[in-house]
Chain A
């Protein structure tokens, strides 16, 4: 069975942004296609159009040379186009089987037989009658894939599927995808990870600013060539100097740190111990949901713990709140830029004022000193090359990269001794990632310390001096970064052990 999918002259314009500009592409079954591009390049809009979630302003989609209308997700389903979204479209409180049965017309008994066949065929191991919120990210993704497979898809679209997976889970996914491709399913794989394009896909289309800039066979491409096409300029690679911290002063010591939660969505932390020296970067790897959130909140003071379990510059700070910790020159950059780090409805200078209220003189006798805050904000915008000089702009209009620069800038401009950041480059494009990475290396070179909690192994290996892995609320032993490989991290992240 041969499937041909063609998109022709697709355009989609949002206010102030051309998401897709006359995009034309052709796909045929038997191959795995990569759709590569930075954030905001228009990949997601294109796949949302293909899955019927968003309607294009212009252009047509052809399946096997017939024009098809995709006005709703139901239309996509009817045309056997399956889609696995980056942010899972699952119902967390429903059971796995309920999630599968909700959009199937089959009788429950028949569906169960079919699902069990699929589980057997592709060697998936998932319990069907537990709530989805108990599954790991990799398992949730499998549920999404099974939901597509039930409908015998001709086309399967995967949107950034590996952002939540371990190395092992990624390998498993690639094996499955190759098998689907062999079974005649046309696969479109959306990503901004260059390595994956080369190891998995046969052809690659690169998108930039809403346009397709290149279509080529992956055999003819290298990581550098793809990166340059994607960004549209030559990127300089950054490297970190390896340091020896034997004689440095210890700045932070965590001892016997425990955290117990009654909330089934949270992870308990179990007896964490580590220390950090001046100028050092400690990387903490792990699959999301293994206690990173809780650890970040404990370090930042959102969750208060025993005084003695956190010693910062020889002071007990476990009981202090985030503001008090900032006065001891700690700084924090949370994972969720929109809801934790900044208030999107507030203007840039108002967001800047939010975490500086005692050490600075932004507030005098209870009044806001707007002039001072604005001057200070302008300095951040220029020092950290945020792409605007308008401090009156509402923060929600900044792109992810610029917002992250603003947040990091806001934290660093007070010259803190320790910066704790959690997935600082999550969802950013290559240019912004590069900038953030350079900044993080720079603060280490200035003798300031940092803790980098991240789910991106490449980032951890690039920036950390020492690395450990968090798994189910426990830390692995701490290793020197030069002895660590991505494979080692992958094993530890999946709960295995290495020696």
Chain B
């Protein structure tokens, strides 16, 4: 019995680990979108974060530099997006798509020399506790610091948006950039900051994949997680806590259906593989069906270009 329980604990731990990149990227994108900017470049920024993190790890042999470097590279990519959409007033959707295409191509090019190189072991915290406490040990302990950060992030984001002045200003800009500008808020600065923060978080999400989750470089290793993160933000109706729930469901069903495939259930593999997508959407739609709340959480100006009167 205690063996079974421990196994379930390990399974839950694995589910948590698999949802980390989604939580990080979606939390970052959530802040960006709350300021009224729709950045579809999440996938591109994630994969650039993944390759630059991995490459820096190989070159410097320092995981700290690798993690910081991945965030900086995500940030630089989002800065390009910011320059285009905020300063040159290009269309958000087209620019974001271009960013993703660029990121995927760029990462493949840089990554050519890093294929097949083994990753470095990332330090995991509280390993002794993980082994000594059955069930709860594998759930709460033996993870990387980034996982703990990721699980705190939605709550921090929620507090930041609801309780702080800066959060209020971001929501105001997302609601009506014209009104905000007339109130003396520097809309462009606020939006730039939110874009850069989103970029850094996407970079970190990529680093988690290439440094911790599957410590190696594989071309296109984000495998559409950036798009899932984008969808999570929308289906979670811009609520950070619901993003966390959505990411866990997605991660959970991904892991579970892998086990079901391994067991050899007589369900078509394609259906099992589609299950996480279907279930995540269903659950999020069900928990966010209050149309009043959706109205209040949706950034009204999402994707709109803002011109300042001169």
Chain A interface (Cβ < 8 Å from any Cβ of B):
48, 51-55, 72-74, 77, 85, 88-94, 98, 101-103, 131, 133, 262-265
User: In the bound complex, do residue B175 and residue A94 qualify as a contact, i.e. CB atoms below 8 Å apart?
Assistant: yes
Residues of B286-310 at the interface with A, using a CB-CB cut-off of 8 Å, are 291-292, 295-298, 300, 309-310
How far in angstroms is the closest Cβ of chain B from A260? Answer: 13
User: In the bound complex, do residue B179 and residue A133 qualify as a contact, i.e. CB atoms below 8 Å apart?
Assistant: no
How far in angstroms is the closest Cβ of chain B from A50? Answer: 13
Residue of B185, B296, B298, B300 ringed by the most chain A CB atoms within 10 A: B296
User: In the bound complex, do residue B183 and residue A89 qualify as a contact, i.e. CB atoms below 8 Å apart?
Assistant: yes
Contact (A265, B179) CB under 8 Å given A102-B172, A103-B184: no
User: In the bound complex, do residue B179 and residue A94 qualify as a contact, i.e. CB atoms below 8 Å apart?
Assistant: no
Instruction: Chain A residues near B179: list those with CB within 8 A.
Output: 88-91
Instruction: Chain B residues near A88: list those with CB within 8 A.
Output: 179
User: In the bound complex, do residue B178 and residue A94 qualify as a contact, i.e. CB atoms below 8 Å apart?
Assistant: no
User: In the bound complex, do residue A101 and residue B182 qualify as a contact, i.e. CB atoms below 8 Å apart?
Assistant: no
User: In the bound complex, do residue B296 and residue A93 qualify as a contact, i.e. CB atoms below 8 Å apart?
Assistant: yes
Q: Which of B176, B183, B296 contacts A73 (CB 8 A)?
A: B183
Q: Which of A73, A102, A131 contacts B168 (CB 8 A)?
A: A102
13 contacts between A and B (CB under 8 A): A53-B182, A73-B184, A85-B182, A89-B176, A89-B179, A90-B179, A91-B175, A91-B179, A92-B300, A94-B168, A98-B171, A98-B172, A102-B172
Instruction: Chain B residues near A52: list those with CB within 8 A.
Output: 184
Instruction: Chain B residues near A98: list those with CB within 8 A.
Output: 168, 171-172
Where chain A touches its partner, the secondary structure class is loop
Instruction: Chain B residues near A77: list those with CB within 8 A.
Output: 184
Residues of B178-204 at the interface with A, using a CB-CB cut-off of 8 Å, are 178-185
Instruction: Chain B residues near A92: list those with CB within 8 A.
Output: 175-176, 300
How far in angstroms is the closest Cβ of chain A from B294? Answer: 9
Instruction: Chain B residues near A91: list those with CB within 8 A.
Output: 171-172, 175-176, 179-180
Q: Contacts A74-B184, A90-B179 known; list 11 others, CB within 8 Å.
A: A48-B309, A52-B184, A53-B181, A73-B184, A88-B179, A92-B300, A93-B298, A93-B300, A101-B165, A103-B183, A264-B292
How far in angstroms is the closest Cβ of chain A from B160? Answer: 14
Bound complex: CA of A89 vs CA of B180, how far in Å? 8
Instruction: Chain B residues near A54: list those with CB within 8 A.
Output: 309-310
**Closest residue of chain A to B176, judged by CB?**
A91
User: In the bound complex, do residue B181 and residue A73 qualify as a contact, i.e. CB atoms below 8 Å apart?
Assistant: yes
How far in angstroms is the closest Cβ of chain B from A19? Answer: 12
User: In the bound complex, do residue B295 and residue A72 qualify as a contact, i.e. CB atoms below 8 Å apart?
Assistant: no
Bound complex: CA of A102 vs CA of B185, how far in Å? 9
Bound complex: CA of A103 vs CA of B180, how far in Å? 9
Contact (A133, B295) CB under 8 Å given A73-B184, A89-B178, A102-B183: yes
Instruction: Chain A residues near B296: list those with CB within 8 A.
Output: 93, 131, 133
Bound complex: CA of A271 vs CA of B44, how far in Å? 54
**Closest residue of chain A to B295, judged by CB?**
A264
User: In the bound complex, do residue A55 and residue B310 qualify as a contact, i.e. CB atoms below 8 Å apart?
Assistant: yes
Bound complex: CA of A103 vs CA of B298, how far in Å? 22
Instruction: Chain A residues near B180: list those with CB within 8 A.
Output: 91
Q: Is B241 an interface residue (CB 8 A)?
A: no
Q: Which of A48, A89, A93, A101 contacts B295 (CB 8 A)?
A: A93
Bound complex: CA of A53 vs CA of B185, how far in Å? 12
User: In the bound complex, do residue B295 and residue A94 qualify as a contact, i.e. CB atoms below 8 Å apart?
Assistant: no
Instruction: Chain A residues near B156: list those with CB within 8 A.
Output: none
Q: Is B153 an interface residue (CB 8 A)?
A: no
Bound complex: CA of A262 vs CA of B296, how far in Å? 14
User: In the bound complex, do residue B182 and residue A73 qualify as a contact, i.e. CB atoms below 8 Å apart?
Assistant: yes
Q: Is B169 an interface residue (CB 8 A)?
A: yes
Instruction: Chain B residues near A101: list those with CB within 8 A.
Output: 165, 168
Instruction: Chain B residues near A131: list those with CB within 8 A.
Output: 296
User: In the bound complex, do residue B310 and residue A72 qualify as a contact, i.e. CB atoms below 8 Å apart?
Assistant: no
Residue of B169, B295, B298 ringed by the most chain A CB atoms within 10 A: B295
How far in angstroms is the closest Cβ of chain B from A91? Answer: 4
Bound complex: CA of A94 vs CA of B298, how far in Å? 11
Bound complex: CA of A89 vs CA of B185, how far in Å? 12
Bound complex: CA of A287 vs CA of B178, how far in Å? 25
**Closest residue of chain B to A52, judged by CB?**
B184
Q: Which of A89, A94, A133, A263 contacts B291 (CB 8 A)?
A: A263
Contact (A102, B181) CB under 8 Å given A53-B309, A264-B295: no
Bound complex: CA of A129 vs CA of B86, how far in Å? 33
Instruction: Chain B residues near A102: list those with CB within 8 A.
Output: 165, 168-169, 172, 183, 185
Bound complex: CA of A15 vs CA of B27, how far in Å? 44
Residues of B131-175 at the interface with A, using a CB-CB cut-off of 8 Å, are 165, 168-169, 171-172, 175
How far in angstroms is the closest Cβ of chain B from A264? Answer: 5
Bound complex: CA of A42 vs CA of B179, how far in Å? 21
Bound complex: CA of A54 vs CA of B181, how far in Å? 11
How far in angstroms is the closest Cβ of chain A from B238? Answer: 10
Instruction: Chain B residues near A53: list those with CB within 8 A.
Output: 181-182, 309
Bound complex: CA of A264 vs CA of B179, how far in Å? 22
Instruction: Chain B residues near A72: list those with CB within 8 A.
Output: 184
Bound complex: CA of A90 vs CA of B175, how far in Å? 9
User: In the bound complex, do residue B182 and residue A93 qualify as a contact, i.e. CB atoms below 8 Å apart?
Assistant: no
Instruction: Chain A residues near B169: list those with CB within 8 A.
Output: 102
Bound complex: CA of A91 vs CA of B173, how far in Å? 9
Contact (A89, B168) CB under 8 Å given A48-B309, A54-B310, A264-B295: no
Bound complex: CA of A91 vs CA of B138, how far in Å? 46
Q: Which of B184, B295, B310 contacts A265 (CB 8 A)?
A: B295
